[in-house]
Structure 1
Amino acid sequence: MMKNKLKIVEIFVPLLCVFTLISGCKIIPVREKSDYEHSLEFLRKGNLEQAEAYLLKYEKRFPYDEKSYNLRLEIAKKYLERNDAKKTSALVSKIPEKGISKELIGGKYEILGDISLLKDEYLKAVGLYLKSIDLYRRKSQKEKIKKKALKIISEKLNEEELSWLAGRYGKKFPAEEALYNLIKQKALAGDINGSRRSLERYERTFPDSSRRNELISFIEKKQREGKLIIGCILPLSGALSEIGNSVKEGIITAQIIRSERIGFQQVDLVFKDSAGDPEKAARAFEEFGSNENVIAVIGPVRSACVKKCAPLADKYQLPLVSPTADADYIEGLSNFVFRTCLLPETEAEAMAEFAIKDGEAVEIAIMHGDDYYGRKLAAVFKKKVEELGAKVKIEITYPPETNDFTEYVRKLYSYLEAGGIFDTIYLPCDYDKAGFIIPQLPYNDMEGFQLYGSSGWDSGRFDPYGNPERLLEIVLEKGEIEGAVFTDSFSLWSKDNEERNEFVSRYKEMYDSIPNVYAANSYDTYMMIVKELKKRMKRRSELRKRISQIRDYEGITGKMSIYEKGRVEKTPFFIEIFGGKFREIKAEIEKNG
């Protein structure tokens, strides 16, 4: 037996020596790196795709290994650093919420909160961070996540979200922070009464808070500083004072209605008289531009005054919104210049479409004044109807100052007598001109023609009491005008718009007059601006951007969209004379581009 053992030793020892020489004189156990180690190595090198691939291999062999979930978190964090929310979400979604350590689940919620923050889902991010705080054990981890949540609460959440957060968490974190920021946010927005009410809520919930006096001081300071201001540059004296005062009255009516709705006065108004002079308008704009509390300017009224102010709007980056300037050159003057009025070309195109599609006009006569208003409307109308397949057979112009239209109506009659044909007459003019022209048509044996007109047929802008129907007083034989249709930029003849009804009622009550289109446009301009004033907005450039992105704003003067460089799209109203009265009718008109 002993001899056999010796033989084995004699054979094994030489073999061992040979193997030792081959292996570098050391005996080392050899093994390959595991998938887990490969994944770690690629993670350290920043090759996240390979790190993820080896992680998946490892998880196939060890599907419920907690250290693989830790590795998932680390890879997810790196993807998040690349702002790849999709990859990050896919990785952390596979981490279970039961059966593993609370630290791991807390890490999952933290990353999900980071993803929500990346997507601007601020309230959701706060909720996820709060879940992770409850799960983390180490104080340093909890404090880190608290800082993230507090940053969102102080910088990102709006009043509604802050109020909800305070109510949801009662006396627990972050209710106090939410209320604290809500109070400050309201004060910054000029809602002093609202900030005081929130302070009372804060005092009831956190009676021992050391920040109470700080908040009281902050509210008092903001009250002293005053609210944001909308400056108004209008011709309150001079030849255009009636228009200027109509605009002013519309703005004031809007401010009163808005303040009653929200419970406080959102902005202050400051009026400066331009007297219709471009130089005075520019000086007023300089004053507003130099005042950092002025967030926007309504006006001027005249296009020439707007043009003079346009370089200053750029200089001070102060949005200018005119409710009346309709000249062609306004568009493109400045990125800070806008307008809200119905443009002549828009109403002429709309009337042309209505005449062809609803009125089935084929052959048309046009009679207009030889001025900017008449020429513009006639040219656009003619171009549009001919694009749509109709034909303008005759176009007659008259001096803008004339009130005797016998000669010009006779030209229409002579054309027909010579064998000419038309079935429709377009009269783009003011109500008084239309009132003189229309009765002369049947007097010259021209009856049965469809009549179309423009917004000038509404006399509201000319009448001191805002009476829009003076045309009906001039044309005594109502049958002569029955069935005529005209475009308008404001309608008093429909009761289905509650806001319009409220405006008209309040305006009549305040000024003992019917509001005209200038007042109505100004109402819409004010309401549109204050609607775009986000809470705590102080930057004029931010307001400019928001105004230029307004789409399909439903105002009392119709639907409106505003674009860069002052381009405006607006839908006109269609008014028909029916039974001797004005009435609003609906028409399907393509949106102008």
Structure 2
Amino acid sequence: MHNKIFILLFIFSFLVFAQTNDELDKLFNSAIKDFKNSRFTSALTSFNKIANDFELNSKTTLALLFVGKINLELKNYSDAEENLLRLVGEFPQSKYSDEAEITLSRVYLDQKEYAKAFWRLCLIIGTTEQSETRAFAINKAEEIALNYLSAAEVKSIYDSTIIVSVKPFLLLINWKIHLNWKNEKLAQETFNKLIRLYPDSHEKKEAKKLLNELQTPKEYSDPTDVVGVILPLTSNRSANTAASEILEGIKFALSEFNQGRDKKIGILIRDSELSRRKLEEINEELKEIENLKSVVGPIFSAEVKDALDVFDDISVPIISPTATDDYLTELNANFFQANPSFITRGRLMAQYIYYVGNQRKIAVLNAIDGYSPILSSSFTQEFEKLGGRIVLRESYKSNSVDLKEQIKKISESLNLIEAIYIPLADKADIPVIVSFLSQINLNIPVYGDQDWMSSSGLESAAFLDNNLIFCSDYFLKFSEEDYQIFSKNFYSKTKMDVNRNILYGYDTMKYLLTIMRSSFSGSDALKQKMISGISSVGFHNNICFDSNRINRYMNIIRYLSGKFELIDKFKLNN
């Protein structure tokens, strides 16, 4: 009897185990599919269940890794950190532990916790048996240390670690930091310590080789790379003010970049005077500069057109911080627009509504004046190309006081549409449009362009609260710590308050210097890096190019409780 009971229990437990395994495999495969299709929320739910609701199984560690990666993607940094630390803490022998450490480093790097990011990579350097993984960790850790850490921070890690195998690397990095900062005495002491304590290490051999190269006399020194800056500094008053402020932003970005660097970037500033003749003079001068790598400016679309014609025989990238006219990049293969064109803005808003807003049926109300028709047309073409439907399209004349007929047609179509797109030609039209819209009990999203960033006429429009969403090339989060530090440092050096124009110049130059930071052989290689999709996070907007050479980013702003808030920095998919 007892034997029969035992057999029955054994069979039952086996069946339960098999059923659990089938459920686990099905859930895991579904989670992988969701992850590959960027359905991160669904994938995260499944991986969390595998890692936490099931007993320890063959997929626990991989599920924890995916939970960490997805939370990093979603910027849920604390959740990412918690799960990745659990993986490396509870399962140190897992074959996924190296990748977990690399992902942890990214979590900390995203939050600018550079010492923590550096240390997670050091753990890989000291413990991994995979040569390719170790090489990656060495390169990334060195990049972080030389750009963001002090010698004291690296020395502190060296003194506190008990992982002997990583100590030679830490001494090598410490030595390189001292060299960068011209601390010759400390550099010599660190070098002597490295060769005394670790005479057979790879790091000692690398240090000796580098030292020999530094001590070998050069027949010539490399000339400084130069960025040309062309702005209308002495033209009419408004142009002069904007240009001067943009220049201050450019100069501050360059001074930050050059600080502590042996090979500095030079700057050649020339006043265009809004004159084609002056541009021709500048062109002749630029052609004689052997190490000219790029040009920043001009800033106005009309002058950009002249400059692109005049500079046709200069083969370096030319980037305008502010020009917004369409088709400028077609005039010169080396031209880049850091400020998105109007066609780009309309297309980007269509993609945001379709992919993020998830609306498929739209009404469009645009002015027949200014750039409103361009925004409307590019939006409509892109939205329909994506598979959306423009149910109704109405227009009006800017500064008109009567929109009765247009609003009536919108009202009659409310049961057919999911949102309205209203690109303005003038902020002055907001009170009239809001007044008419308020009469039809509107309760769907209203999308628009950056002219909607005005408090005039919105205070009493309760129906727009949390329903008004628009794109803008400029938005600033004043409360962010990074911005406050930047603003304080900028004022300390220039005695100027940060404003919009300053950030146009600063963010554009910061982007350019980010591209130039890595070694490259010439201006053509620089251009190729610019169109490769590298992104630079800016204060006013991010910057990223592809082969179209027009910035793909715009800020997405929402009107909520009487205030404007940033909800996304959205990148156009070309």
> Shorter chain as normaliser: what TM range?
0.5 to 0.7
**How far 1:251 moved relative to its partner?**
1.0
Find the counterpart in structure 2 of residue 582 from structure 1: 564
The whole-number CA distance in structure 2 between the counterparts of 1:358 and 1:445 is 26
The whole-number CA distance in structure 2 between the counterparts of 1:271 and 1:502 is 27
Find the counterpart in structure 1 of residue 405 from structure 2: 411
Aligned residue type for 1:488? S
Find the counterpart in structure 2 of residue 318 from structure 1: 316
| Corresponding position: 1:425 with 2:420 | yes
Matches within 5 A, 1:67-82: none
**How far 1:537 moved relative to its partner?**
6.3
Q: Is the 8 A contact 2:369 2:425 kept in 1?
A: no
Find the counterpart in structure 1 of residue 285 from structure 2: 287
| Corresponding position: 1:250 with 2:233 | no
**How far 1:426 moved relative to its partner?**
1.8
The 3 A distance-change label for structure 1 pair 474 and 442 is closer
Which of 486, 489, 499 is the equivalent residue of 2:473?
489
Find the counterpart in structure 2 of residue 530 from structure 1: 513
The whole-number CA distance in structure 2 between the counterparts of 1:377 and 1:306 is 21
The whole-number CA distance in structure 1 between the counterparts of 2:564 and 2:421 is 18
Find the counterpart in structure 2 of residue 343 from structure 1: 341
Moved more, 160-169 or 384-393: 160-169
Q: Is the 8 A contact 1:507 1:515 kept in 2?
A: no
Aligned residue type for 2:365? M
Q: Is the 8 A contact 1:230 1:268 kept in 2?
A: yes
Which of 453, 457, 481 is the equivalent residue of 2:448?
453
Give the secondary structure class of the aligned counterpart of 1:397. Answer: strand
Find the counterpart in structure 2 of residue 233 from structure 1: 230
**How far 1:242 moved relative to its partner?**
4.1
Which of 503, 512, 523 is the equivalent residue of 1:520?
503
The 3 A distance-change label for structure 1 pair 359 and 592 is closer
What count of residue pairs does the alignment treat as equivalent? Answer: 382
Cα deviation, 1:483-528, whole Å, max 9, x if unaligned, reads 21111223313866x6555445545664654522x43343232122
The whole-number CA distance in structure 1 between the counterparts of 2:308 and 2:413 is 53
Give the secondary structure class of the aligned counterpart of 1:268. Answer: strand
Q: Structure 2: any 5+ residue segments left out of the alignment?
A: 1-138, 140-175, 181-186
Report the identity percentage.
20
Aligned residue type for 1:524? D
Aligned residue type for 2:573? N
Aligned residue type for 2:337? R
**How far 1:333 moved relative to its partner?**
3.3
Give the secondary structure class of the aligned counterpart of 1:270. Answer: strand
Aligned residue type for 2:470? F
Which of 327, 330, 341 is the equivalent residue of 2:328?
330
Q: Is the 8 A contact 1:290 1:316 kept in 2?
A: no
Cα deviation, 1:23-70, whole Å, max 9, x if unaligned, reads xxxxxxxxxxxxxxxxxxxxxxxxxxxxxxxxxxxxxxxxxxxxxxxx
Find the counterpart in structure 1 of residue 304 from structure 2: 306
Give the secondary structure class of the aligned counterpart of 2:250. Answer: helix
**How far 1:574 moved relative to its partner?**
1.2
The 3 A distance-change label for structure 1 pair 263 and 177 is closer
The 3 A distance-change label for structure 1 pair 397 and 582 is same
Which of 492, 508, 532 is the equivalent residue of 1:549?
532
Give the secondary structure class of the aligned counterpart of 1:490. Answer: coil
The whole-number CA distance in structure 2 between the counterparts of 1:375 and 1:256 is 42
Cα deviation, 1:217-244, whole Å, max 9, x if unaligned, reads x8xx96xx98433211112322533432
**How far 1:452 moved relative to its partner?**
1.2
Find the counterpart in structure 1 of residue 126 from structure 2: none
Which of 456, 472, 477 is the equivalent residue of 2:460?
477
Find the counterpart in structure 2 of residue 103 from structure 1: none
Give the secondary structure class of the aligned counterpart of 1:367. Answer: strand
| Higher Cα radius of gyration | 1
User: With structure 2 as the length reference, what TM-score do the two structures score?
Assistant: 0.56
Q: Is the 8 A contact 2:411 2:440 kept in 1?
A: no
The 3 A distance-change label for structure 1 pair 346 and 384 is same
The whole-number CA distance in structure 2 between the counterparts of 1:285 and 1:297 is 11
Aligned residue type for 1:549? S
Cα deviation, 1:341-371, whole Å, max 9, x if unaligned, reads 2233333233223334444545433233334
- Larger RCO (CA within 8 A; separation ≥ 6): 1
The whole-number CA distance in structure 2 between the counterparts of 1:443 and 1:531 is 47
Find the counterpart in structure 2 of residue 269 from structure 1: 267
Cα deviation, 1:122-181, whole Å, max 9, x if unaligned, reads x9xxxxxxxxxxxxxxxxxxxxxxxxxxxxxxxxxxx88999999466999997773364
Find the counterpart in structure 2 of residue 592 from structure 1: 573
**How far 1:298 moved relative to its partner?**
0.2
**How far 1:309 moved relative to its partner?**
3.0
The 3 A distance-change label for structure 1 pair 547 and 359 is closer
The 3 A distance-change label for structure 1 pair 366 and 312 is same
Q: Note the aligned Cα RMSD (angstroms).
A: 4.2
The whole-number CA distance in structure 2 between the counterparts of 1:356 and 1:545 is 31
Aligned residue type for 2:248? E
Q: Is the 8 A contact 1:493 1:582 kept in 2?
A: no
The whole-number CA distance in structure 2 between the counterparts of 1:534 and 1:268 is 13
**How far 1:301 moved relative to its partner?**
1.4
**How far 1:302 moved relative to its partner?**
2.6
The whole-number CA distance in structure 2 between the counterparts of 1:507 and 1:481 is 37
The 3 A distance-change label for structure 1 pair 354 and 544 is closer
Cα deviation, 1:52-107, whole Å, max 9, x if unaligned, reads xxxxxxxxxxxxxxxxxxxxxxxxxxxxxxxxxxxxxxxxxxxxxxxxxxxxxxxx
The 3 A distance-change label for structure 1 pair 273 and 397 is farther
Aligned residue type for 1:368? N
**How far 1:540 moved relative to its partner?**
3.5
